[in-house]
Structure 1
């Protein structure tokens, strides 16, 4: 395919390593970042979005010197701290490229050059369009979701339209709302007099301050920070009938020399469990295990020892018999540093009466004509939702009565604030903008004011966690309730400054964007009018945006719904036209759901093609790691008339992401670069596609490895780049005339990538790779992609198909107790030499009469593999080195091939974090054993093999 004259930087080169560092770093930046305005799931880092916009609009360099200069410019630009001078330079470069693209004279002043028009058709949390604005583009943002649309208005329109004066007004009215709410419901979170608590115990009160015993003065006043609750159910033992707390863990503080936790004490008179605060300088000194609570929903009665399984708890929940009990109160103390902890029995009289709360709620609803959020939760089985089997069926069920009263009171005063503005003669749109931020303030409070919030005992944490610690709503057995009228994390007073910082940060980032709420399948934009579509679409079945956002929609509807009747009048957010692979919406049929998602994405990309100019650029940010997700996206783009010209991986996650735990996670977002495909001939796979695919993959493996990209990210990025060979044709045919579908092509790409990576990792040619048996190839690739981590079976099976081996079934790599691969439920993990090497027959040959049999974990007769021989050899070197000569005599491995395998596994294939150098202490047990073996290779292997051959 000939290169286009209008080739862009993103089709040539971008400094992915440096930008990845900044993108990962940005996750820890808070002040002024749009993530602190309002939660939205899976936002891309701003610097990554900036890189995509800039590189999509600037021309590719003509010389190596210009490439070096552009690379440096991008590195400077793609930093959170990039200054105005750097941004001005980037805007100038974009306008210069636009001037050339439009064919304007080179002396045309840049102020007379119309800026490029850029669209994000799945705008979500607004990261991409915000960076488009910052770079001086005429920006369009479209999203179907009303919550996302409101966030976009507050990110892309109001700050740019009203400037920093908007922040002053939001601060003024935000504080007014907080004061009114505090006056109305401050009694729900009363200060606690130490003397009153001590009086109950008929003694001076000894409390724990920051984990240290401290005698507090009776005049001291405690301010509540977090109320800690546990859900309870009645013991199923008829002879017992006690209330069983379902609490998972009782930690209050975990810090060196400061360990504080709650000890559970059964009260046989009241048939309830009481909690006492215990502290120690060491964890062991507590005398009990604070983490020994319920596990996977199963719990134990502290009175009689009866076991309560999750089925029983669900049954009690459906019957409405799950209750809640206070465990502890975390406080601050006037005149004291640190935290003070009260056990439940010390403050239970300070908790409002339930009937009084219900009475006040009813009165509030009658006064305001608002209703508590009785809208239904999604049907059980919906992605990410796991609370319904416990009787939580309405959104209101996720809140305590006190939380509902507090949030409804905030909604009331947000509405009244808008009325006040009208009375004071505020300009209509300004008043609407100010009030909208007050609605976001309420949503920030709600995020830390549900019964799905946990308490974090670590001293560096804020205490009460968000409802959405992850992109789901799982059931919790113990929860933390903050004080929304206070001044600590989760309160309105704490939330308001975060909102103000974002307004100030974005007040001068350009002209307001054009934000439209609507479907990406019917864009309200003129045909062939845009220079670029840069978007981050929903990833197949990853995030149920609409269902999750209902949590916030119900409060926006009650606080600012009257200002946005066109967006906030529905019962819940629209679901019918949401592009997601959600079986629940298709009678639980996964195939129908996948087809619906593909059709929607195809229609959306067709719309993207319609609104793009002939030479326009499409950049799609994609991070899904399964074959199903990739093949769906590819088919959608190809059928919509796009050719994928490039693919770049950017690490957009923090260094502490899942790679540091026990499961594998893809580091990167892949930036797929596409162009509108011109009509062309049908492609022949054998003569047109395969040769180009091989060339692309080998070049990309070399380039990306030089950039420090490796492991799963390298493989996925190479697959993305290889798509150009396929998507440049509307149809690709096999030699028999059948069409090659996207799923089959991905298997072909995977094979090419595996071979290219193995030649690099093993440092040999294709022939050398072909001489290594397939199970050993899979082991090397598995270690290279996943290290020692567990990985989802589907992802691992995709790699297995690329290598040409079977994971499951008789004779598969997971078959037998000494299998190469261990399968646990839906995950697999490679077994190392210490798991397998003790098997005496591993990888050897046994002769009976004139027949030679190979002995492997799969049984007698299966072909021996180099990895079997190596694992047995490593184990013998550790435990029985004297038996090594006998092993080599029976196994008779090819010494050259065996050493290639050992060297590959000792090098990059087993590094715990791809792209990083490892110290001796960081090397895995298997790496260390291979290091020792290679150091003595001649003596232990070659000399013994030579002796045996003689």
Structure 2
């Protein structure tokens, strides 16, 4: 397509209702039932709310754009129209509106309107058909959230990824549902179920969802016929009840086992007991629920031992199992001899780590019932003889430390009984597929002789589609059916904790084995309806989608809209991790997708992750990542539709706030790749897609925000500028941009202090990236690292109180806080500093912000401020004092009371907010986590505080001053 294109600015390049998007994204993390994340595990999947909001804002024109179509609007008109778009976003991001057609149609109409306006500006040019929206493409599709939301917004959606597991997830999310939309189910209703109301039609993917439920039920019943003997119920005997009064009322009952709890064992290092395999147990706790506490007690008898389940609370030493502490290894239950990790590694490498059954968890009428293990149940478990095992080697982060103990291939992560179960389920996927194909033909569905991988739409393809989701069910069962799973004794969650508690496979010593036939977490009884519900409630069926396996560096984007979430430098080894699922998925689905499953394991060599073990060194891994990412992003810049910016997610990690500002190796490398690929950055937005603000670990190496980079291709005629010119432009542009971010202009929502350092990089990088190069004094191009230092310096200068119109008392308090925090310091130093700042110790003491006496001076903390303070009756109110009174009110009484306080000093709103940002940055630098959190929470609550302030003002003082909400 010609580059002589008129491209109006998009909303995402100007403004967003960030608070609303972040709130919805944070809330979505707690939603499980029906959410696409429960269809199949994928690591670091974007929240649907964030993806939907970004795509919408990427597609609609900003009403205040200075180019082309909008040149004639007044500011008031533009602001009013922008607010209408904000209203759509606020509705759009709510989970309840995921499938609200009324809300979605508003968004789709706004997108089509903007597209028609853009086509009008480019009338006669190829590719601008007002009746056909451009298609969407995510070249790093991963878990499929972004392609799914593009489809939901009415765009033909394309997804590509190198990883076959990701490709299959995207096929299940965007490709399969539209193929079979509106079809009624073909499978027989499970025996024993009531016929229920006959549906007159099956909208969207509801018919497909129902068939997945029906064939999933058949698969469970058929599997139980074949291997149910390996999962027997346990009968409560009179002998059991002798020492357990709580069991007397259920003697003779047969209970379904939820889980078997095992300990790994090694031979005792003590020569006297070296013939005995002793347990390695990190905790003997079974339940910590009040009134129902239970634990395991090992009973030693000469040269043997057994485990006994006890009711009540154990001693501290008993609760911690046989552990000798975090780094101490374990202790022998016979001799108390230490069993260090070197010894355990040697035993593991020699194949001498075994298992021993410790306890059984059964389902009672009123909750879990914990029972002692019996030799008979252990014999049954060990009698399983798997016909097949996935002997694919573990790599990278999957190895973590398990390979140190002899767990080198995937079959090592499962007990024989687990291998039998998962192999049986995998085999049944194909049997269910055959049944679905035959049932489809019987109900009259045509058969075009083609499978789904060949583009078929008939009975054969339909059977393939059902099999895909049944394969996902097997994958989800495998998460809860490995020896990496543990048992949670938490009062709220007495259950199996699945394999992927984090993005790795760590060694576990005592593990829980779930019963896939029970009615509890990790079972088919729970997983089958959960997968069916996702298909029914969250997947689209109205617009075509397509998912392919392809490298992002070379995939054909052909004038498509691009939004993507690339790998994060070295944070997640997707290819390594997804082998866990691939080995089972390949067995179940290889005949349906032969090319997708052509390799024994997930392809790894070309994955764009900076993994040193693959590339020889950290430097070579970084070079591989950098070169590959430049190539991929260059592909976006050259092929993406020129009327739309490209949006790229980047999860900010490995950050350190130092005197030079916030930096990150992965972040810098990624920015370098974006700029070298030919993009200019026209906007950045921090989206809190990982965790809520209150759980942020200040200074922690944790994913906190996704930074959304908004990029347009840089003009080929861009010139180079000097370092001095670059600094001059930063000083001209950054103050206004920062004022907007902290909420000082156009009523924008404030960016949280924890996000400001990352977000404000955007305007600075916009200056840096629009030029071919910024040249240092020696004539060499300035690096991204050096540019970030200069940008951060300007941000610090803007936020420091000395640069603003702060009162002298506040200047003193800020500098004193920097030196001493809340601790006391020498009076002499305080006296000298106060004079330098144009005030006095007596003055700041009179203001009520410091305590002075005994030759010492200290600042009052906010919880020491009086509750009855009234700014209108205070003759000396530094901004410092006003800020900390607001924090006191927020922490003690919430947004309403703090809003009422702000309503009595509205003229101080902007100064209070700017000081809060400065103090947050200072506290983060000094790693004062609690203090930093207080300043961050004030800003994140600002919208509510200001709204409460306005309400009080209208009802009482009729305040009309701008509070920046």
Query: In the TM superposition, what is the alpha-carbon distance from 1:264 to its structure 2 partner?
Result: 3.4
Change over 3 Å in CA distance of 1:279–1:56 after alignment to 2: same
Q: Distance in 1 between matches of 2:555 and 2:236?
A: 62
Query: In the TM superposition, what is the alpha-carbon distance from 1:356 to its structure 2 partner?
Result: 3.2
Give yes or no for contact 2:230–2:381 (8 Å, CA) kept in 1. no
Match of 1:795 in 2: none
Q: Distance in 2 between matches of 1:495 and 1:483?
A: 13
Q: Distance in 1 between matches of 2:813 and 2:854?
A: 29
Match of 1:703 in 2: 740
Residue 263 of structure 1 pairs with residue 297 of structure 2: yes
1:226 to 236, 250, 259: 259
Give yes or no for contact 2:58–2:644 (8 Å, CA) kept in 1. no
Match of 1:66 in 2: 81
Residue 251 of structure 1 pairs with residue 277 of structure 2: no
Query: In the TM superposition, what is the alpha-carbon distance from 1:215 to its structure 2 partner?
Result: 2.0
Residue 350 of structure 1 pairs with residue 377 of structure 2: yes
Change over 3 Å in CA distance of 1:595–1:505 after alignment to 2: same
Give yes or no for contact 1:684–1:734 (8 Å, CA) kept in 2. no
Query: In the TM superposition, what is the alpha-carbon distance from 1:16 to its structure 2 partner?
Result: 0.4
Change over 3 Å in CA distance of 1:886–1:227 after alignment to 2: closer
Residue 122 of structure 1 pairs with residue 140 of structure 2: yes
Give yes or no for contact 1:40–1:125 (8 Å, CA) kept in 2. yes
Give yes or no for contact 1:638–1:730 (8 Å, CA) kept in 2. no
Residue 678 of structure 1 pairs with residue 746 of structure 2: no
Match of 2:424 in 1: 409
Query: In the TM superposition, what is the alpha-carbon distance from 1:769 to its structure 2 partner?
Result: 8.5
Change over 3 Å in CA distance of 1:101–1:898 after alignment to 2: closer
Residue 642 of structure 1 pairs with residue 679 of structure 2: yes
Query: In the TM superposition, what is the alpha-carbon distance from 1:912 to its structure 2 partner?
Result: 2.2
Which structure 2 residue ranges, 5 or more long, are not aligned?
Answer: 65-77, 182-205, 442-446, 448-458, 655-663, 744-748, 860-876, 885-914, 924-930, 941-965
Q: Distance in 2 between matches of 1:472 and 1:842?
A: 54
Query: In the TM superposition, what is the alpha-carbon distance from 1:571 to its structure 2 partner?
Result: 1.1
1:50 to 52, 74, 80: 52
Give yes or no for contact 1:37–1:499 (8 Å, CA) kept in 2. yes
Query: In the TM superposition, what is the alpha-carbon distance from 1:832 to its structure 2 partner?
Result: 6.5
Residue 144 of structure 1 pairs with residue 162 of structure 2: yes
Residue 238 of structure 1 pairs with residue 271 of structure 2: yes
Give yes or no for contact 1:758–1:769 (8 Å, CA) kept in 2. no
Query: In the TM superposition, what is the alpha-carbon distance from 1:216 to its structure 2 partner?
Result: 3.0
Residue 727 of structure 1 pairs with residue 759 of structure 2: no
Residue 296 of structure 1 pairs with residue 326 of structure 2: yes
Q: Deviations over 1:707-764 (max 9, x none)?
A: 3433331111111332101111222212331110112112222222222233499874
Give yes or no for contact 2:608–2:628 (8 Å, CA) kept in 1. yes
2:856 to 869, 884, 891: 884
TM-score (norm 2): 0.76
Residue 326 of structure 1 pairs with residue 357 of structure 2: yes
Match of 1:688 in 2: 725
SS of aligned partner of 1:141: strand
Change over 3 Å in CA distance of 1:313–1:641 after alignment to 2: same
SS of aligned partner of 1:264: strand
Query: In the TM superposition, what is the alpha-carbon distance from 1:162 to its structure 2 partner?
Result: 1.2
Match of 1:471 in 2: 503
Match of 2:661 in 1: none
SS of aligned partner of 2:706: strand
Q: Distance in 1 between matches of 2:858 and 2:634?
A: 66
Query: In the TM superposition, what is the alpha-carbon distance from 1:102 to its structure 2 partner?
Result: 1.3
Change over 3 Å in CA distance of 1:479–1:658 after alignment to 2: farther
Q: Distance in 2 between matches of 1:482 and 1:633?
A: 42
Change over 3 Å in CA distance of 1:901–1:74 after alignment to 2: closer
1:397 to 380, 388, 412: 412
Change over 3 Å in CA distance of 1:907–1:763 after alignment to 2: farther
Residue 916 of structure 1 pairs with residue 937 of structure 2: yes
Give yes or no for contact 1:50–1:132 (8 Å, CA) kept in 2. yes
Change over 3 Å in CA distance of 1:56–1:898 after alignment to 2: closer
Match of 1:594 in 2: 622
Match of 2:866 in 1: none
Give yes or no for contact 1:692–1:725 (8 Å, CA) kept in 2. yes
SS of aligned partner of 2:25: helix
Q: Distance in 2 between matches of 1:233 and 1:748?
A: 57
Q: Distance in 2 between matches of 1:77 and 1:843?
A: 59
Match of 1:533 in 2: 562
Match of 1:628 in 2: 665
Query: In the TM superposition, what is the alpha-carbon distance from 1:290 to its structure 2 partner?
Result: 4.4
TM-score (norm 1): 0.77
1:132 to 125, 150, 158: 150
Residue 215 of structure 1 pairs with residue 248 of structure 2: yes
Match of 2:102 in 1: 85
Query: In the TM superposition, what is the alpha-carbon distance from 1:170 to its structure 2 partner?
Result: 1.4
Q: Distance in 1 between matches of 2:620 and 2:881?
A: 47
Change over 3 Å in CA distance of 1:509–1:15 after alignment to 2: farther
Query: In the TM superposition, what is the alpha-carbon distance from 1:700 to its structure 2 partner?
Result: 3.3
Q: Deviations over 1:498-541 (max 9, x none)?
A: 11111112454531212121100111343xx22x2100111101
Query: In the TM superposition, what is the alpha-carbon distance from 1:75 to its structure 2 partner?
Result: 0.6
Match of 1:446 in 2: 478
Q: Deviations over 1:796-838 (max 9, x none)?
A: xxxxxxxxxxxxxxxxxxxxxxxx9xxxxxxxxxx9767xx7x
Q: Distance in 2 between matches of 1:715 and 1:661?
A: 13
Query: In the TM superposition, what is the alpha-carbon distance from 1:4 to its structure 2 partner?
Result: 7.8
Match of 1:95 in 2: 112
Q: Distance in 2 between matches of 1:4 and 1:703?
A: 27
SS of aligned partner of 1:245: strand
Change over 3 Å in CA distance of 1:325–1:833 after alignment to 2: farther
Query: In the TM superposition, what is the alpha-carbon distance from 1:899 to its structure 2 partner?
Result: 8.4
SS of aligned partner of 2:12: helix
Residue 570 of structure 1 pairs with residue 599 of structure 2: yes
Residue 739 of structure 1 pairs with residue 781 of structure 2: yes
Give yes or no for contact 2:53–2:89 (8 Å, CA) kept in 1. yes
Q: Distance in 2 between matches of 1:408 and 1:886?
A: 68
Match of 2:868 in 1: none
Match of 1:616 in 2: 644
Q: Distance in 2 between matches of 1:618 and 1:442?
A: 36
Q: Distance in 1 between matches of 2:694 and 2:490?
A: 18
Query: In the TM superposition, what is the alpha-carbon distance from 1:206 to its structure 2 partner?
Result: 2.3
SS of aligned partner of 1:405: helix
Q: Distance in 2 between matches of 1:886 and 1:538?
A: 48
Residue 503 of structure 1 pairs with residue 531 of structure 2: no
Give yes or no for contact 1:232–1:244 (8 Å, CA) kept in 2. yes
Q: Please, what is the CA RMSD of the aligned residues?
A: 3.8
Q: Deviations over 1:616-666 (max 9, x none)?
A: 310001113342111211111111111000001111134388526994645
Q: Deviations over 1:270-319 (max 9, x none)?
A: 1x4x3332333xx5788954477353351122222222222221111111
SS of aligned partner of 2:423: helix
Q: Distance in 2 between matches of 1:574 and 1:663?
A: 32
Q: Distance in 1 between matches of 2:84 and 2:802?
A: 30
Q: Distance in 1 between matches of 2:713 and 2:850?
A: 60
Match of 2:225 in 1: 183
1:113 to 131, 155, 158: 131
Give yes or no for contact 1:383–1:543 (8 Å, CA) kept in 2. no
